[in-house]
């Protein structure tokens, strides 16, 4: 067995499993091997094509110099000569536009073949039109040109015939290498997303801890004696506001029965049918718009107007006078009570505003709200990052599956270990 290995060389064992990191190294020789095979096959055909182009030029030169042999009508010779010249012109176009490339990669070969065949087909079509007339006088020479051009076409087709399968294989290698690069980039992106997720999770934990501490401080603040004092002050303020509201309601109840007569007096004053003293006019307007600000003396003046003139033409005069005298007797005390309450309310508000614990509670509450907004924003970013990571992980699995399919098309025995 050993002597066989010494003669033929020891055969390396084939491993059907290749690690992802070693895959590119495994593919590159495949690409070089295919390219080498293509070069070996193409090089002699390139040489044959160059020979064919020289043959075409040679046969075209022979056609161009050919002289009529035999007896022909002068007109036929002229027609044949003109068409012969057209054929030579097409040959020059053909040979000038076909240059054999030095590169032997598949892409260059295919591009060269496509361009050369396009040029050849156009020129050959034009040649054949002229050949129909040129051959009547220059049969052998024109026939040789057409034969050489057709030979060039066959060589061009020979150039690409063996490439189809190799191109498929080479494309597979190229696609595999691209997929490897894409997977590596996706691995890097996944790594960055994982780092980002970790950072955001740490930020979420820190914010949650800070919020918890802030809420604890707020609870302790609201259990303090200072906060209880603040609560008592707020209760006292609420009681004062309630008393002021009730007092204002009593004032309105005193004035309400007089509204009809007061509005009638205002209409008479505004129309000029009854003239009021400025202070009485001001008192009337206040009584109708903001009765708690009205002067108690206004009701004495109002009684005088009712008693001394019949301008209001009241149907129930006695009832109205009774309401006016009730206002005279009670309005002043209610107004004084209301203004006293309002002064106490302002004092209580000022007292509450000076309590430091109020500002402290507001600051704590604002800070907690700010932290909660930040937390919600970071949690949203975290969720977005996790979704992006999940999408990347799905994409990379799909890319791995496709890479395995491509590798299998190169060698069905090979399995990639990711």
Answer whether residue 212 shows pLDDT above 80: yes
Q: Is residue 142 part of a domain?
A: yes
Answer whether residue 377 shows pLDDT above 90: yes
- Decide: 251 and 292 in contact? Cβ < 8 Å: yes
pLDDT at 344: 95
User: How much of the chain exceeds pLDDT 90, in percent?
Assistant: 58
Q: Is residue 85 part of a domain?
A: yes
pLDDT band at 14 (very low <50, low <70, confident <90, very high): low
Q: Is residue 314 part of a domain?
A: no
pLDDT at 13: 52
CATH at residue 52:
1.20.120
pLDDT at 15: 61
Pick from 286, 285, 305, 296: which is nearest to 327 by CA?
Answer: 296
Q: Is residue 275 part of a domain?
A: no
How many structural domains comprise the chain?
1
Within its chain, how far is the Cα of 281 from the centroid?
Answer: 70
- Decide: 162 and 41 in contact? Cβ < 8 Å: yes
162 or 68: which leads in pLDDT? 68
Q: Is residue 123 part of a domain?
A: yes
Write out the DSSP string of 182-243. HHHHHHHHHHHHHHHHHHHHHHHHHHHHHHHHHHHHHHHHHTSHHHHHHHHHHHHHHHHHHH
pLDDT at 166: 77
pLDDT band at 415 (very low <50, low <70, confident <90, very high): very high
pLDDT band at 107 (very low <50, low <70, confident <90, very high): confident
The tens digit of pLDDT for each residue in 245-273 reads 999 999 888 888 888 888 887 887 777 77
Give the mean model confidence (pLDDT) for residues 202-222: 96
Q: Is residue 95 part of a domain?
A: yes
Is residue 286 classed exposed, middle or buried when 0-12, 13-18 and 19+ CB atoms within 10 A define those classes?
Answer: middle
As a whole number of angstroms, the distance between CA 206 and CA 214 comes to 12
Answer whether residue 414 shows pLDDT above 70: yes
- Decide: 32 and 170 in contact? Cβ < 8 Å: no
Averaged pLDDT of the chain = 88
Range of the domain at 125: 31-161
Answer whether residue 297 shows pLDDT above 90: no
pTM: 0.56
Two tokens at 316? 């129930």
Give the mean model confidence (pLDDT) for residues 354-371: 93
Q: Is residue 73 part of a domain?
A: yes
Answer whether residue 9 shows pLDDT above 80: no
- The DSSP bridge pattern shows strands 17-19 and 415-417 to be parallel
265 or 360: which leads in pLDDT? 360
Answer whether residue 385 shows pLDDT above 60: yes
Q: Is residue 342 part of a domain?
A: no
The number of helix segments (H) and strand segments (E) in the chain equals 12, 2
């Amino acid at each position: 067995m050993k002597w066989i290995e010494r003669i033929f060389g020891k055969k390396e064992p084939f491993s059907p499993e290749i690690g992802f990191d070693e895959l590119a190294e495994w593919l590159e020789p495949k690409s070089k091997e295919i390219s080498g095979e293509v070069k070996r096959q193409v090089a002699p055909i390139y040489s044959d094509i160059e020979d064919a182009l020289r043959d075409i030029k040679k046969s075209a030169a022979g056609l161009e110099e050919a002289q009529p042999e035999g007896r022909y009508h002068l007109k036929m010779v002229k027609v044949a000569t003109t068409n012969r010249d057209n054929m030579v012109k097409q040959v020059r176009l053909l040979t000038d536009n076909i240059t054999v490339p030095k590169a032997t990669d598949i892409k260059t070969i295919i591009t060269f073949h496509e361009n050369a065949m396009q040029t050849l087909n156009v020129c050959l079509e034009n040649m054949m039109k002229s050949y129909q007339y040129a051959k009547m006088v220059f049969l052998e020479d024109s026939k040789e040109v057409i034969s050489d051009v057709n030979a060039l076409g066959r060589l061009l087709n020979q150039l690409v015939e063996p490439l189809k399968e190799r191109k498929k294989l080479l494309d597979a290698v190229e696609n595999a290498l691209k997929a490897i690069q894409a997977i590596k980039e996706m691995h890097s992106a996944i790594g960055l997303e994982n780092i980002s997720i970790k950072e955001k999770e740490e930020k979420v934990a820190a914010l949650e801890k800070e919020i918890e501490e802030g809420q604890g401080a707020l609870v302790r603040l609201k259990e303090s004696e200072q906060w209880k004092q603040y609560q008592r002050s707020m209760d006292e303020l609420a009681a004062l506001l309630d008393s002021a509201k009730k007092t204002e309601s009593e004032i309105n109840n005193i004035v309400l029965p007089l509204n009809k007569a007061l509005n009638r007096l205002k209409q008479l004053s505004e129309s000029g049918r009854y003239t009021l003293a400025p202070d009485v006019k001001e008192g009337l307007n206040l009584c109708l718009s903001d009765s708690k600000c009205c002067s108690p003396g206004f009701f004495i003046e109002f009684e005088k107007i009712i008693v001394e003139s019949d301008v209001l033409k009241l149907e129930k005069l006695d009832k109205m006078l009774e309401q006016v005298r009730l206002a005279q007797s009670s309005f002043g005390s209610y107004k004084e009570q209301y203004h006293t309450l309002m002064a106490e309310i302002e004092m209580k508000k000022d007292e509450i505003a000076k309590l430091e614990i109020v500002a402290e509670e507001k600051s704590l509450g604002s800070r907690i709200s700010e932290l909660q907004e930040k937390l919600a924003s970071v949690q949203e970013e975290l969720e977005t990052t996790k979704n992006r990571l999940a999408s990347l992980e799905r994409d990379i699995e799909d890319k791995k599956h496709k890479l395995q399919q491509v590798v299998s098309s190169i060698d069905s025995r090979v399995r990639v270990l990711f």
